[in-house]
């Protein structure tokens, strides 16, 4: 199996890019320059009518949505061990966490960054305030889960939950209270940022911020 990923550095495509690297499967990557507006080019819109990243070409079909792509890749590559197997004790927790990240944290992040773009600019401040509350509540929740010293959120090993969570937590780095402000969450983040696949991901996407060596 091989894949073609359309990505933008540090964007919602980042966990999918990370997963492909972590699994070591063949893939190609094409940059979509969001700053230059390439996500609105007619050629790209034919692949992804929403004009967002990621788009992953799977068996010649364009697929979308970060969480869905992570779950799809986990299903197609069970040998990678990035999701608990169906019927196992950790499967329900994995599903719950993936849906929580996709339905709660990711939309709150979009509201924080795009409140004035997606909606009425006059109400943007209130939208951002609610988004910040939801993001910080999520950080508190994760910090409490990690207080027992675990390195991963589900099942005692790296999973798609961690890949998606860490990228979303990266987005808090310039917020009034970044995720690194919670002690167990900070420990968790440092551990995952030390993974060779995360280091390679940052190199490939030419990202210079939010690395262990910067602290």
User: Cα 208 to the chain's mean position, in Å?
Assistant: 17
Domains and CATH numbers, the chain: 3-80 (3.40.30.10), 91-214 (1.20.1050.10)
pTM of the full structure: 0.96
- Distance in angstroms (rounded) separating the CA atoms of residues 92 and 112: 29
If one compares 114 and 164, the residue with the highest pLDDT of the two is 164
- Distance in angstroms (rounded) separating the CA atoms of residues 43 and 40: 8
Laid out side by side, the sheet with 3-7 consists of 27-31, 3-7, 55-58, 61-64
- Distance in angstroms (rounded) separating the CA atoms of residues 159 and 152: 8
Using one digit for the tens of pLDDT, what is the confidence trace for 34-89? 999 999 999 999 999 999 999 999 999 999 999 999 999 999 999 999 999 999 99
Q: Is the CB of residue 51 less than 8 Å from the CB of residue 44? A: yes
Percent of the chain's residues with pLDDT above 70: 100
122 has a pLDDT exceeding 90? no
**Computed from CA positions of residues 95, 162, 78, 3, in that sequence, does the dihedral angle turn out positive or negative?**
positive
- Kindly indicate the confidence band of residue 115, based on its pLDDT and cuts at 50, 70 and 90: confident
Tell me how many degrees the CA angle 33-8-190 measures, rounded to the nearest 5. 145
């Amino acid at each position: 199996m091989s894949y073609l990923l359309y990505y933008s550095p540090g964007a919602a495509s980042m966990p999918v890019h990370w997963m492909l690297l972590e699994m070591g499967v063949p893939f190609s990557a094409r940059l979509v320059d969001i700053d230059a507006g390439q996500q609105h080019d007619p050629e790209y819109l034919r692949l992804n009518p929403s004009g967002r990243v990621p788009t992953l070409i799977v068996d010649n079909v364009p697929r979308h949505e970060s969480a869905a792509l992570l779950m799809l890749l986990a299903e197609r590559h069970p040998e990678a061990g990035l999701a608990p197997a169906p019927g196992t004790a950790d499967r329900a927790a994995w599903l719950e966490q993936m849906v929580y990240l996709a339905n709660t944290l990711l939309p709150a992040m979009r509201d924080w960054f795009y409140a004035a773009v997606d909606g009425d600019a006059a109400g943007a401040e209130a939208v951002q305030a609610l988004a910040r509350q939801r993001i910080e509540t999520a950080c508190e929740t994760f910090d409490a889960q990690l207080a027992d010293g675990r390195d991963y959120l589900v099942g005692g090993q790296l999973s798609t939950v961690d890949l998606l969570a860490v990228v979303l937590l990266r987005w808090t780095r310039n917020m009034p209270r970044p995720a690194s402000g919670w002690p167990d969450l900070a420990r968790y983040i440092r551990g995952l940022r030390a993974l060779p696949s995360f280091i390679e991901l940052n190199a490939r996407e030419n990202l210079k911020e939010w690395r262990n060596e910067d602290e």
